[in-house]
Amino acid sequence: MSHDANCIFCKIIDGKIPSMKLFETDKSYAFLDIGPCSQGHSLVIPKYHAAKMHELPDDYLQDILPIAKKLAIATGAAEYNILQNNGRMAHQVVDHVHFHVIPKPSTEKGLVVGWPSTQPPKEELQAIYEKLQQNMPK
């Protein structure tokens, strides 16, 4: 298992920094966010240190979403967001993969997202489609 002695999330997993643990498996750890967007905002992190999701082994990823589902149910929220960021421009602050479970009780509380949709021409979409197919890992 990969750990980084300087990582705040690795320290939480190791019990060196206290947290309000909500759920734990041999591969994942879930806890209440101390800087929440809304009541019940929590995090699910793998017990494997990887900065970005594509660096995380698949078996750790497979463990995370069922836990996120449990957390979403536990909040009782009818609406919620599951958020996972990779890199500074994508709003990642802690360099350890983490999934946010954020209840959305109102338009003002919870995650606020802009969605800058575009309408590229069909030819451009076709070129992007072909590039993605060629680059898809087997």
**Domain CATH for 48:** 3.30.428.10
Order of strands across the sheet that contains 28-32? 21-24, 28-32, 42-46, 99-103, 80-83
Q: List, for residues 96-117, the tens digit of each pLDDT value.
A: 999 999 999 999 999 998 889 9
74 lies in some domain: yes
Give kind and range of the element (H or E) at residue 30.
Answer: strand 28-32
Domain that holds residue 114: 8-135
- 86 vs 6: CA distance, rounded Å: 19
Start-to-end C-alpha separation, the chain: 25
Q: Is the pLDDT of residue 76 over 80?
A: yes
Per-residue confidence (pLDDT) for residue 32, from 0 to 100: 98
Q: List, for residues 8-53, the tens digit of each pLDDT value.
A: 999 999 999 999 999 999 999 999 999 999 999 999 999 999 999 9
- Tally of domains in the chain: 1
φ, ψ of residue 114 to 5 degrees: the values are -95, 150
Query: Of 41, 49, 96, 98, which one is the catalytic site residue?
Result: 98
34: number of CA atoms within 13 Å, CB side? 8
Q: Please indicate whether residue 100 is annotated as part of the active site.
A: no
